[in-house]
Amino acid sequence: MSDLRFLKPFVWFAVSIIVFLSLSRAGLVIWQGERVTATDNLFFIFAQGLRFDLVLIGMVLFIPLSLTPLILIFKQSLPVWRIVVTLYLALLFVAVVFVELSTPSFINQFDLRPNVLYVEYLKYPKEVISTLWEAYKLQLIFTIIFSALSFKWLYGRLKTAAIQVQAVRWWKAILLSPLLLLLAVMMARSTLGHRGVNPSTVAFSSDPMVNTLPLSSAYSVLYALREMMNESQSNVQYGKLPDDEVSRLVKQEMGIDEQYFTAGQQSTLHFHEATHKREKPLNLVIVLEESLGAEFVGSLGGLPLTPELDKLTKEGMWLNNLYATGTRSVRGIEAVVTGFTPTPLRSVVKLTKSQTNFFTIAQLLKEKGYDTSFIYGGEAHFDNMKRFFASNGFDKIIEEPDFKNPVFTGSWGASDEDLFSKAHESFSSYEDGQPFFSLVFTSTNHSPFEFPDGRIELYDEEKQTVNNAVKYADYALGEFIRKAKKSKYWENTVFLIVADHNSRVYGAEIVPIERFHIPALILGADVKPQTYSRLASQIDLLPTLLSIMGVDATYPAIGRDLTRSTMPGRAIMQFDTTQAYMQEDGNVAIMQKHKEPVQYVYKKPHLSKAEQQDPELMKKALAHSIWSLRSYLESSYRLK
């Protein structure tokens, strides 16, 4: 048996992982008791939890476990093996502990276990560390201390176990190595079926957060990273339809006559004639408001936190039934600036194939002689924005280093009032006759919710809350619009004020549709006051703006011109890896990877399964998801 002592460190590691993750899972279940109880599947969560903990162990051990017998044939390799294996297992354990302990804070923010966002944010240490320190100081300190103690505890036991290991006879090593490899692979796959287990295996309820409880956060992150590496492949789609059927259904839902399509049967490139005829097209300013959900907007039945925006709704085209396409800023940028529909992949702002010659409204307007800019109070490299914008039509990028002596700087850069002062200064500098387009992206309404003193009467007693940040952001917006109204550029400029996404998308629904509801207002120039109450999507804003500006153009975006369209509205929403296609009649097609689409009925705020399934709705939903993925993969979403 002395030849098998090398297994002892691996057993210590595996048992420690199982015990720790089981205790963590129990804590999460207790914390989310009401939502867990509603699913009536407590045993399933823990049974599948053990299964997926073994999957994680198999994933991280199959190489070192299977190679160890072969390495230990040689006595000279023993000292190196002891050091490497002890450090590898101890560091791996502390990584699992750290990610798991950060899970409650991540759930509070995103209502899911840590996923690919967890890793993506590591690219931006300044913003992340500052936010964590301001918003989660105690949790961060506890996590670091507990992780360090965990490392010390396990390292000591692994070191003791490793010292006892002896060399392995060559014939035993040759027998053991493939057996251990097979064991680890079977643990990682956890099935004899064609596909190994994955998160959809434990999607047992309509509550996405509860569905993640059987997983561990380390597994969830590793699986998301693997999916990200496969983004160039078509296996991430929700289903299949013939290409001709996809194109027919997507074009049909655009509501555009076939004669206006200019580039073949499968392309959506089409000529769009503006409904507003002008001798000189207007300028355009898009104000993308960070995390401004409908629940904060008085005019949408929310809290009384946006008095400035509420007043402005009577001065322009107020869209009170608009839905975001996603839950991240890059999704909002994707929809508003490019008119692109969401996919199970990351936003095109980050994807490789969309970094050049991907259609944006900036690219279109630049070709028509507009000066184009992106103005942001933070560092524009965040979320790959700078690279995407610079390569797809934006002439000028103004970011935090360009702000001289800002009034206030927080974790996410210059305050909103500094941002709008910079924007006003930029717009005022244009010579008469030079058209311009600018995307102005706010950031104050982002955790840890920092803003200057003395600007607003606080809504909450504690200063740094989301409610107070929303109220300050609204104050800064109001000040900007007042300045703009007195400027030379006001009468020649259309302004869009729209949220990038809702503040926090969470809930027990398979897709919490209510949390995709956002405000949007088009005003300025000669825009007439009106309320547009039909269902609309962020992707509809681009063609609508071009129409109001008086810009005739040929482009591939599939959104509807709301100044013209009489079709029943629809909205497409991406929630993690699930996509919803909602019609104005309340019928919703829900699509999940590796599952058949299912029809629901939305009656605010709940979704319930439809008594009958509408095949045409399923086809339309599937066609749009396939079209988006195909357009990206084939690099066909471009002007020419």
Tens of pLDDT, residue by residue over 180-214, are 999 999 999 998 876 688 887 887 777 878 989 99
Q: Is the pLDDT of residue 362 over 90?
A: yes
User: Among 17, 202, 277, 23, which residue's Cα sits nearest to residue 594?
Assistant: 202
Q: Which residues pair with 288 in a beta bridge?
A: 441, 498
Task: Return d(Cα 640, Cα 532) in angstroms, integer.
Answer: 33
Q: Looking at per-residue confidence, does 356 or 626 come out higher? A: 626
| Model pLDDT, residue 194 | 66
**What would the two tokens of residue 90 be?**
């101890």
| Model pLDDT, residue 233 | 53
pLDDT grade, residue 11 (50/70/90)?
very high
| Model pLDDT, residue 232 | 55
pLDDT grade, residue 133 (50/70/90)?
confident
Q: Are 543 and 557 in contact (CB under 8 A)?
A: yes
| Model pLDDT, residue 264 | 76
**What would the two tokens of residue 36 be?**
């867990």
Q: Is the pLDDT of residue 291 over 70?
A: yes
Question: Positive or negative CA dihedral for 41, 45, 48, 50?
Answer: negative
Average pLDDT over residues 390-400: 92
As a whole-number percent, the residues of the chain with pLDDT over 90 amount to: 73
pLDDT grade, residue 274 (50/70/90)?
very high
| Model pLDDT, residue 167 | 85
| Model pLDDT, residue 576 | 86
CATH homologous superfamily for 243-633? Answer: Alkaline Phosphatase, subunit A (3.40.720.10)
Q: Is the pLDDT of residue 356 over 60?
A: yes
| Model pLDDT, residue 236 | 67
Task: Return d(Cα 573, Cα 249) in angstroms, integer.
Answer: 18
Q: Are 479 and 420 in contact (CB under 8 A)?
A: yes
Task: Return d(Cα 359, Cα 338) in angstroms, integer.
Answer: 6
User: Among 578, 593, 585, 498, which residue's Cα sits nearest to residue 537?
Assistant: 498
Q: How many CB atoms lie within 10 A of CB 526?
A: 11
| Model pLDDT, residue 432 | 81
Q: Is the pLDDT of residue 235 over 60?
A: no
Domain ranges of the chain: 2-229, 243-633
Task: Return d(Cα 71, Cα 62) in angstroms, integer.
Answer: 14
- 235 CB-contact burial (10 Å; exposed 0-12 / middle 13-18 / buried 19+): exposed
Task: Return d(Cα 439, Cα 502) in angstroms, integer.
Answer: 19
SS3 label, residue 559: coil
| Model pLDDT, residue 552 | 96
Q: How many CB atoms lie within 10 A of CB 105?
A: 17
The per-residue pLDDT for range 418-475, each reduced to its tens digit, is: 999 999 999 999 988 899 999 999 999 988 999 999 999 999 999 999 999 999 999 9
pLDDT grade, residue 3 (50/70/90)?
low
| Model pLDDT, residue 308 | 98
Q: How many CB atoms lie within 10 A of CB 313?
A: 22
Average pLDDT over residues 289-305: 97
Q: Which residues pair with 523 in a beta bridge?
A: 495
Q: Which residues pair with 375 in a beta bridge?
A: 398, 440
**What would the two tokens of residue 49 be?**
């939890």
| Model pLDDT, residue 598 | 94
Instruction: Average the pLDDT over each of 289-298, 485-494, 590-599 and give the range with the smallest value.
Output: 590-599
Q: Are 285 and 493 in contact (CB under 8 A)?
A: yes
Q: Is the pLDDT of residue 2 over 70?
A: no
* Angle (deg, nearest 10), helices 137-163 and 78-101: 160
**Most confident option among 125-134, 167-176, 375-384, 436-445:** 436-445
Q: Is the pLDDT of residue 16 over 70?
A: yes
